[in-house]
Amino acid sequence: MSYRWVPILGGLEERDGVVVFQGGTTKTADGRELVNIGNFICDQTFGGGEIAAQITFSARPQESACGLLLYYQPSTQSFISAILGGTDLCSVKSYIGYQWTTHKGVGDPSQLEAQRSYSLAVTAAGSRVSVSLDGVNVLQTDLPFPLPSGQPGIWARGLDDIEISSFTVHRRPPTVFVVMQFTPPYDELYRDVIKPVCEEILGVAVVRADDIAGPGLIIADIARHIVEANVVIADISVRNPNVYYEVGFSHALHKPTILIAEKPTDLPFDVSPFRILFYENTIGGKARIEAGLRKHLEAVLADWSTS
């Protein structure tokens, strides 16, 4: 698939579907020479899934770096990128408020070779980012915030040209993780209201802890699903320690969390200040919780898709 590209910063050339960053130096008004930097944004949107490309350094790879942008915010020029080269062999960095933050870096960049094509792929789910190089998983990190939805692209820096080919974007739908007690009537609420609203009405994937199959520690699986979710829905009608633990973990990750509770519910002090979507376990209450939940989810997903 071919994409349309806009060079936000630096020189860009397209040759038969190959994007070429034009390396070199640029002289500033005060006479300083700065190494060329490129930010190239494509016409896709991304908030989770996989971005991949082949990267080839024409010369001096130890003095170059090239990354796949997972997100770019034009109003602030902030971005998040998985980078090949630079301070590490592979790294995940963000540039926010004109400051670089390295979330994780691995490997020695001196291993990079000129005129060799490297396959770089990055997978993002919720707050979790994984990077593979030439088909080998080399890095996994959890961002301190959910990955926003925005436009992906390419970031590059170097004295020499860098070729980026086979650039692909594969998006995945946003996911919702549901936290609640596994007993009636909450099972019915999940099956008859939450799951249909998420899947059938909004087209959002939804999972609850008892949907998870396979060996391993259940708490580790729950933590992974919360990290990888775009939204968390939590029913706090019952003072269940497990539910409150998972709500606290979601809040610590700055995860968008929709709290729901059955009327009347005596909420603990630490939770009561939050906006709660209350519902009644009646026929009329079912319709109201469906409408309220849909409205809340649409608001969260609208913020997520335009952030």
Per DSSP, the residues of 72-88 read EETTTTEEEEEEEETTS
The alpha carbon of 245 is separated from its chain's Cα centroid by a whole number of angstroms, namely 23
The alpha carbon of 293 is separated from its chain's Cα centroid by a whole number of angstroms, namely 23
DSSP class of residue 243 equals H
**Radius of gyration (Cα) for the chain, nearest Å?**
23
The pLDDT, as a whole number, for residue 149 is 87
pLDDT tens string 20-44: 999 999 888 888 899 999 999 999 9
> How far is it, in rounded angstroms, from Cα 43 to Cα 5?
7
The alpha carbon of 184 is separated from its chain's Cα centroid by a whole number of angstroms, namely 34
> How far is it, in rounded angstroms, from Cα 125 to Cα 182?
26
Provide the 3-class DSSP secondary structure of residue 201. helix
**What type of residue is 161?**
D
Report CA-CA distances (Å) from 201 to 172, 193, 204, 293, 298: 17, 11, 8, 11, 10
The pLDDT, as a whole number, for residue 83 is 98
pLDDT tens string 151-197: 999 999 999 999 999 999 999 888 999 999 988 888 999 999 999 99
Q: Give the chain's length.
A: 307
The pLDDT, as a whole number, for residue 307 is 47
The pLDDT, as a whole number, for residue 17 is 80
Quick one: 109 exposed, middle or buried, by C-beta within 10 A (0-12, 13-18, 19+)?
Answer: buried
* Domains parsed from the chain with CATH numbers: 5-171 (2.60.120.560), 175-306 (3.40.50.450)
Q: Residues of the chain whose pLDDT is less than 70?
A: 1, 212-217, 269, 272, 303-307
The pLDDT, as a whole number, for residue 225 is 92
Beta bridge partners of 264: none
Report CA-CA distances (Å) from 72 to 39, 78, 305: 9, 6, 12
The pLDDT, as a whole number, for residue 39 is 95
